[in-house]
Amino acid sequence: MPATVKVLERKPLSFAERTYLPQIAAGLKTTIKHLFAPKVTMEYPEQRPEILPGYRGVPTLVMDPHGREKCVSCQLCEFVCPPKAIRITPGEVPADQPERSHVEKAPREFEIDMLRCIYCGLCQEVCPEEAIFLQNVYSTSGYTRASMVNNKQRLYELGGTLPDQHFKWDRKKAAETAGNARH
Amino acid sequence: MTTPAKTDLITVNVDGREIAVPKGTNMIEAAKLLGIDIPHYCYHPKLSVVGNCRMCLVEMGMPAVDPATKQPVTDPATGKQKVNWMPRPTIGCATNASPGLHIRTNTPLVKDCREGVMEFLLVNHPLDCPICDQAGECRLQEQATQYGRGYSRFIEQKNVKPKRTVLGPRVMLDDERCVLCSRCIRFSKDVAKDDVLGFIDRGSYSTLTCFPGRQLENNYSLNTVDICPVGALTSTDFRFKMRVWFLKQTNSIDTESSVGANTIVWSREGVIYRITPRRNDEVNDTWMADSGRLFYKQVRADNRLLAARIDGQVVAHGQALQAASELLKQGGVAIVGSGRASVEEQFLTRRLAESLNAPAAIVARVGQGDGLLISADRNPNTRGALVTGLISSLPSTTLASLARAIDAGSVKTVLTHNEDLLAAGLTPAQLAKVAVVYVGTHDNATAAAARILIPSLTVFEKSGSFVNQQFRLQKFSAAVPAPEGVADDLATLGTLVNAAGGSCPSAGLPALWTALSTEVPVLAGLAYSKIPDTGAALDAAAWAGLHFPEGETLHYKPAKA
The domain B125-298 is classified under which CATH number: 3.30.70.270, 3.30.70.20, 1.10.340.70, 3.40.50.300? 3.30.70.20
The domain A59-161 is classified under which CATH number: 3.30.1370.60, 2.60.260.20, 3.50.50.60, 3.30.70.3270? 3.30.70.3270
Looking at beta carbons, which residues of chain B come within 8 Å of A172?
126, 128
Q: Whole-model pTM? A: 0.91
The nearest CA of chain A is from the CA of B269 a distance in Å of 12
Residue pair B215/B167 in contact by the 8 Å Cβ criterion: yes
> Quick check: B244 pLDDT over 70?
yes
Output phi, psi for B496, to 5 deg. -65, -40
Q: Is the dihedral of CA B231, B233, B239, B242 positive or negative?
A: negative
Residue of chain A whose alpha carbon sits nearest to that of B246: A79
Mutate to test the interface with A, among B174, B240, B244, B246 (most CBs of A within 10 A): B240
Per residue in B150-187, pLDDT (tens digit) is 888 998 888 888 888 999 999 999 999 999 999 999 99
- Quick one: which H or E segment has residue A132? strand A132-134
ipTM of the complex: 0.86
Please work out, in degrees rounded to the nearest 5, the angle formed at the alpha carbon of residue B184 by the alpha carbons of B180 and B187: 140
Task: Please report the pLDDT score of residue B561 as a whole number.
Answer: 57
Residues 6+ apart with CB under 8 A from B348: B490, B493, B494, B497, B504, B512
Task: Please report the pLDDT score of residue B499 as a whole number.
Answer: 93
Residues 6+ apart with CB under 8 A from B360: B334, B335, B336, B337, B349, B350, B353, B390, B391
Looking at domain B9-106, its CATH class is: alpha beta
Confidence of residue B506 (pLDDT cuts 50, 70, 90): confident
Confidence of residue B203 (pLDDT cuts 50, 70, 90): confident
Cα(B147)–Cα(B145) distance, integer angstroms: 6
Looking at beta carbons, which residues of chain B come within 8 Å of A78?
243, 246
Per residue in B273-301, pLDDT (tens digit) is 999 999 999 999 999 999 999 999 999 99
Confidence of residue B77 (pLDDT cuts 50, 70, 90): confident
Which residues of B make CB contacts under 8 Å with A?
Answer: 126, 128-131, 135, 157-160, 163-164, 239-243, 245-246
The domain limits of chain B are 9-106, 125-298, 308-543
> Quick check: B232 pLDDT over 50?
yes
Which member of A78, A92, A175 has the closest CB to residue B157? A175
Residue of chain A whose alpha carbon sits nearest to that of B132: A74
Per residue in B398-409, pLDDT (tens digit) is 999 999 999 999
Task: Please report the pLDDT score of residue B1 as a whole number.
Answer: 38
Task: Please report the pLDDT score of residue B493 as a whole number.
Answer: 94
> Quick check: A34 pLDDT over 80?
yes
> Quick check: A180 pLDDT over 90?
no
Cα(B170)–Cα(B499) distance, integer angstroms: 49
Confidence of residue B5 (pLDDT cuts 50, 70, 90): low
Share of chain B above pLDDT 70, in %: 98
Cα(A62)–Cα(A66) distance, integer angstroms: 11
Mean pLDDT of chain B: 93
Cα(B410)–Cα(B344) distance, integer angstroms: 29
Query: In this complex, do A74 and B240 lie within 8 Å of one another by their Cβ atoms?
Result: no
Mutate to test the interface with B, among A70, A86, A88, A92 (most CBs of B within 10 A): A92
Query: In this complex, do A178 and B157 lie within 8 Å of one another by their Cβ atoms?
Result: yes
Which member of A103, A176, A180 has the closest CB to residue B131? A103
Mean of the pLDDT values across residues B495-518? 89
> Quick check: B2 pLDDT over 60?
no
Per residue in A79-93, pLDDT (tens digit) is 999 999 999 999 999
Residues 6+ apart with CB under 8 A from B6: none
Looking at beta carbons, which residues of chain A come within 8 Å of B163?
102, 104
Looking at beta carbons, which residues of chain A come within 8 Å of B164?
104
Per residue in A36-51, pLDDT (tens digit) is 999 888 999 999 999 9
Cα(B209)–Cα(B206) distance, integer angstroms: 10
Query: In this complex, do B160 and A179 lie within 8 Å of one another by their Cβ atoms?
Result: yes
Cα(B52)–Cα(B31) distance, integer angstroms: 20
Share of chain B above pLDDT 90, in %: 88
> Quick check: B356 pLDDT over 80?
yes
Query: In this complex, do A75 and B243 lie within 8 Å of one another by their Cβ atoms?
Result: yes
> Quick check: B396 pLDDT over 80?
yes
Cα(B69)–Cα(B548) distance, integer angstroms: 62
Looking at beta carbons, which residues of chain A come within 8 Å of B128?
172
The domain B308-543 is classified under which CATH number: 1.10.10.60, 3.20.20.80, 3.10.180.10, 3.40.50.740? 3.40.50.740
Residue of chain B whose alpha carbon sits nearest to that of A103: B131
Residue of chain A whose alpha carbon sits nearest to that of B127: A172
Task: Please report the pLDDT score of residue A97 as a whole number.
Answer: 87
Confidence of residue A94 (pLDDT cuts 50, 70, 90): confident
Task: Please report the pLDDT score of residue B3 as a whole number.
Answer: 46
Task: Please report the pLDDT score of residue A182 as a whole number.
Answer: 66
Query: In this complex, do B240 and A176 lie within 8 Å of one another by their Cβ atoms?
Result: no
The nearest CA of chain B is from the CA of A137 a distance in Å of 28
**Among A135-144, A162-171, B46-55, B448-457, the least confident range:** A162-171
What single letter denotes the amino acid at residue B221?
S
